Amino acid sequence: MAKNWKELTAVKEVADLSYKMWEKGWDEANGGNITYILTDDEAADLNYIPGTGEAVNLMGGVPDAMRGKYVLVTATGSYFRELRDNLDELVGIIYLPEQGDKYERVVGLENNRPTSELAAHIQTHAVRLAADPEQRVVMHNHASHVLAMTHCGPTNERDFTVALWRMITEGVVVFPDGIGLVPWCVCGTPEIAAQTNEKMKTRRCVVWQYHGVFTTGKSMHDAFGLLETVDKCAEVWLLSETSGSRNPGIDDQGLKDTAAYFGNILPEGYLD
Ligand code: 13P
Ligand code: ZN
């Protein structure tokens, strides 16, 4: 059963991108986690018989939109710099059954459990699927520049978003829906998951104050590209803030014109 699961493109991408994230300094120790919803064809190749794998309670339950789905998940405690060399223990696939509020372990995750942020990931997938049927990936990590900006930047999400948009043209192109900002709270809890879900209804990226970033997307590279762009905007914001001679950046009209050119609709009330 599932003897070729490590040959899945998504597994190779998780192995590759988790290492790249660590190289960027975004995933110290076990920081970061990734989940990916398998396509129907990928799931069929596993030949898994529902009900046969070890069943474990899923905090917050299984959302209806996620029932019957197979999810690739990184393990709790996994070091992203080690992941590509130890796929059997640090990655695995779970199944979310049609009934009940447990997940079933299908393959991988040997001697291990899924990320402690599993509930937030699964609920985020469900919320994003309602907005975009192509939704497939949730990525979390501790991207340094975004994190630094939660210490010294605007503390409301509209101003945080607009400050990022003003930095480089790509900002309003890649995340026209803006950034959700969750005030600091303990991670892995139902509280942080609920706040994240609420904000994910209308956005693909949510920042946790003093902790890190959640991005979503239809592919691994889509979610990673969003993460890179948000962090790049934050890096330029930090550099310009500390340079002592800051220009105002792209003005409201420029942001509106750019959004219109790319057919993007910006959140109401963000710009004059
Ligand atoms: P896990 O090791 O459980 O995935 O947690 C890492 C993390 O970044 C918590 O927010
Ligand atoms: Zn984290």
List the one residue out of 159, 125, 119, 149 whose CA is nearest residue 242: 149
**Terminal CA-to-CA distance of the chain, rounded, Å?**
58
List the one residue out of 125, 98, 107, 96 whose CA is nearest residue 33: 125
Q: Which ligand is located closest to the Cα atom of residue 112?
A: 1
- pLDDT tens digits, one per residue of 72-96: 999 999 999 999 999 999 999 999 9
Contact 1, 46 (CB under 8 A): yes
235 tagged catalytic: no
263's tokens: 């057919």
CA 91 to chain centre: 16
Alpha carbon distances (Å) from 151 to 199, 212, 215: 20, 12, 20
Over residues 46-64, mean pLDDT? 96
Please give the Cα distance from 54 to 103 (Å, whole number). Answer: 8
Q: How confident is the model at residue 99 (pLDDT cuts 50, 70, 90)?
A: very high
Q: How confident is the model at residue 244 (pLDDT cuts 50, 70, 90)?
A: confident
The CA 212 to ligand 1 mean position distance, Å, reads: 10
The dihedral over CA atoms of 59, 65, 70, 73, expressed in degrees to the nearest 10, equals -50
With a 6 A CB cut-off, is 123 part of the ligand 1 pocket? no
With a 6 A CB cut-off, is 189 part of the ligand 1 pocket? no
CA atoms in the 13 A half-sphere facing the CB of 137 = 23
Q: How confident is the model at residue 188 (pLDDT cuts 50, 70, 90)?
A: confident
Question: Is residue 162 scored above 80 in pLDDT?
Answer: yes
| Residue 95 CB contacts under 8 Å (≥ 6 apart), including other chains | 48, 50, 53, 69, 70, 71, 103, 104, 106
Q: Is 162 left (phi over 0), alpha (psi -120 to 50) or beta?
A: alpha
> Ligand 1 pocket test: which of 30, 142, 207 has the largest number of ligand atoms within 8 Å of its C-beta?
30
Please give the Cα distance from 241 to 247 (Å, whole number). Answer: 10
Burial class (CB in 10 A: 0-12, 13-18, 19+), 62: buried
Please give the Cα distance from 120 to 208 (Å, whole number). Answer: 12
Mean pLDDT computed over every residue of the chain: 96
Over residues 210-238, mean pLDDT? 98
With a 6 A CB cut-off, is 144 part of the ligand 1 pocket? no
Please give the Cα distance from 236 to 243 (Å, whole number). Answer: 10
With a 6 A CB cut-off, is 18 part of the ligand 1 pocket? no
Annotated catalytic residue, options 13, 117, 228, 235: 117
pLDDT at position 100 is 97
